[in-house]
Amino acid sequence: MSRLDSHIRQKIAQRACIDLAAQWLAGEPGIIVEFGLGTGRSYSHLRQRFPRHDIFCFDRLDRAHPGSRPPADHLVLGEFSQVLADPANHTRFAGQVILAHLDIGNGTPEDDVVPELILDRVHGWLKPGAIVLSDLDLSLEPAWRLDPIDPEAQVEPGARYYVYRRLPD
């Protein structure tokens, strides 16, 4: 499979997983967070699928397309390690998140540690039943209370997007 084939499959799986999360979470009150705003492509899809929810995006840079940029008060800029060390962000989001979308992979060794760094800091933000979607596989810690869900029945077999659900308290 070429890298282009693999990229296309991943994007199709990403869209399918966001759509699944939107079905599962329909009508559920709470906040959505996205790590890895990039140019805002997945944000624009989240915006369409969750029109009534607040969506907060995190990235080190604002390079979003003007048509798919969150309002300034819904955009948190900085290195994840720094913004997730800020107690104000924990106060703001603790126990309120119904969906966390991680789209952070860049093909460097950072990919092996950054998703776990994020979950280690934000697992307390997740409501019971919350969904975590990730472009990178997570090495789960018991304290995070996340269960992997196999989306393959609904998503093209072998497609690479990872889905987890926060266990009930």
**Residue 169 CA from chain centroid, whole number:** 21
Q: Is the dihedral of CA 41, 44, 46, 49 positive or negative?
A: negative
The yes or no reply on residue 89 touching ligand SAM (CB under 6 A) is no
Min dist. Cβ of residue 59 to ligand SAM (A) = 5
**Residue 60 CA from chain centroid, whole number:** 15
Min dist. Cβ of residue 44 to ligand SAM (A) = 8
- The span from the first CA to the last CA of the chain, in angstroms, equals 42
Chain residue whose CB lies nearest ligand SAM:
38
84 has which bridge partners? Answer: none
Min dist. Cβ of residue 71 to ligand SAM (A) = 17
Among 31, 32, 33, 42, binds ligand SAM (CB under 6 A): 42
Min dist. Cβ of residue 118 to ligand SAM (A) = 9
Among 21, 49, 70, 80, binds ligand SAM (CB under 6 A): 80
Size of the residue set binding ligand SAM (CB under 6 A): 17
Would you give the binding string for ligand SAM spanning residues 108-127, x where CB under 6 A is met? ------x-------------
Burial of 55-79, coded b for 16+ CB within 10 Å and e otherwise, reads bbbbbeeeebeeebbbeeebbbeee
Nearer to ligand SAM, 99 or 104 (CB): 104
- Looking at the chain, list the stretches that DSSP marks H as alpha helix, in order from N- to C-terminal side: 3-24, 41-49, 80-83, 87-93, 114-122
SS3 158: coil
The yes or no reply on residue 84 touching ligand SAM (CB under 6 A) is no
Among 6, 39, 48, 154, binds ligand SAM (CB under 6 A): 39
The yes or no reply on residue 92 touching ligand SAM (CB under 6 A) is no
DSSP assignment letter at 54:
-
Chain positions contacting ligand SAM, by CB under 6 A: 36-42, 59-61, 79-80, 103-106, 114
